[in-house]
Amino acid sequence: MRAIITATELADELSGANPPVLLDLRWQLSLAKAAGAPEPDTRAEYAAGHIPGAVFVDLDRELAGVPGVNGRHPLPDLAEFGAAMRRAGVSAGRPVVVYDGGQGWAAARAWWMLHWTGHPDVRVLDGGLPSWEGELSDGVPDPAEGDFVPAPAAAGLLDADGAAALARTGVLLDARAGERYRGEVEPIDRVGGHIPGAVSAPTTENVGPDGRFLPAAELRDRFKALGVCADAEVGVYCGSGVSGAHEVLALAVAGIPAALYVGSWSEWSSDPSRPVAVGADPQ
């Protein structure tokens, strides 16, 4: 099953016999919030105009748990996540398409959560809302209750110990900006740097200027250059498990399975006993 869908394909499917459930994940990383300033009102942006029929999903409240020692966006309680998805109309037998304001990170987190918990058909709108050329709606849909019940997979999820081990035995990709990986700046978390052995692989380099993913062949070449080979076990982390999900999605587009360390750097760096590497060298 493909992990992404174009706007043209989505328009065709929405007019078909089994239209997908649409989830709007308007969200963005807010450095202002980290500094104590008000965060962007993405729910108001949704209310001002969204793809007709799309249901707003709050990443911070429905796709993540309470921030703390497990990171800024830890896994949510799965019973609560399942209830939120059913309220949005998500059912196991109906496809789901998720989108956000264009960056792709929040939509990828929703894709990863649904994929990891067993939904068989979930895709991300490539390019997000800016790629949509159809009409927008300011109406709030009232979908019928869905039947989706999360059933987490045995694979696909890393904890701190698993990420550290994978950095030694496989390929652990750091999806953050290079300057955060190198420890030159750290605007959010306790300390800058990276997990020893992790390879810098900013997820922003997986997309073109229009926000759409690079072709699968180009993505495969990129990941090969980063050390991802056919028999390598691959994992990804970022700041808090959001942009890292976007890199896992890029790997899926390239046909490469990968696990996500959801706690990511916000969890890793919160424990002073964990080692921190700085500079461009993975070690």
Diameter over CA atoms, the chain: 55
Catalytic residue numbers? 238
Q: Which two tokens stand for residue 69?
A: 């020692």
Burial class (CB in 10 A: 0-12, 13-18, 19+), 256: buried
Q: 195: closest CA among 159, 156, 232, 157? A: 159
Alpha-carbon gap, residue 261 to 268, rounded angstroms: 10
Single-letter amino acid code for the residue at 244: G
